[in-house]
């Protein structure tokens, strides 16, 4: 463990690099940060997705459109709140498939933004299905 001259703990170089890379992506490119927070672990279980859009994204209508498309097909109760032009909160309610529906929503955002989504899991324990975790392009396509 290393310390800065002022006595604070110095972040490891890898964390500093990741933080700088995230800041660069948010300033220069069409990108979004999705932070997953578990609000309640006891029934009724609820989670919150905090979405922040980069400065390069001028039109935020895609967030509401993708949300509505999934909300119509899903049994999981979702609630979208627009904080401002660059920030949204999506509350994910209790339902058997809430974790997979939440992951599906993030996947659709990634698809729309060509994988320019920074996902911060915070205290979310969901890892996805084994198929998603162990997917290898070479296993399915030659």
Each residue's pLDDT tens digit, 110-140: 999 988 899 988 777 777 665 555 444 444 4
Residue 23 falls within a domain, yes or no?
no
Query: Taking the CA atoms of the chain, what radius of gyration do you get in angstroms?
Result: 17
Report the predicted TM-score, pTM, of the whole model to 2 decimal places.
Answer: 0.77
Each residue's pLDDT tens digit, 31-76: 999 999 988 888 888 899 999 999 889 999 999 999 999 999 998 8
Q: Which domain holds residue 38?
A: 33-124
Number of Cα atoms under 13 Å in the Cβ half of residue 97: 10
Hey, which residues does 47 pair with through a beta bridge?
38, 92
User: Which CATH number does the domain housing residue 82 bear?
Assistant: 3.30.70
Residue 78 falls within a domain, yes or no?
yes
Neighbours of 60 (CB within 10 A): 17
Residue 62 falls within a domain, yes or no?
yes
Residue 96 falls within a domain, yes or no?
yes
Residue 131 falls within a domain, yes or no?
no
Residue 13 falls within a domain, yes or no?
no
Residue 48 falls within a domain, yes or no?
yes
């Amino acid at each position: 463990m290393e310390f800065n001259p002022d006595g604070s703990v110095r972040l490891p170089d890898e964390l500093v690099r990741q933080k700088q890379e995230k800041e660069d992506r948010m300033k220069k490119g069409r990108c979004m940060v999705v932070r997953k927070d578990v609000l309640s672990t006891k029934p009724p279980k609820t989670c919150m997705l905090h979405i922040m859009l980069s400065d390069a994204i001028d039109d935020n209508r895609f967030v509401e459109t993708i949300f509505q498309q999934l909300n119509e097909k899903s049994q999981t109760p979702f609630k979208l709140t627009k904080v401002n032009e660059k920030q949204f909160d999506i509350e994910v309610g209790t339902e058997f498939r809430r974790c997979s529906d939440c992951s599906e929503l993030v996947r659709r955002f990634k698809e729309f933004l060509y994988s320019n989504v920074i996902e911060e899991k915070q205290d979310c324990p969901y890892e996805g299905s084994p198929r998603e975790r162990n997917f290898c392009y070479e296993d399915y396509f030659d």
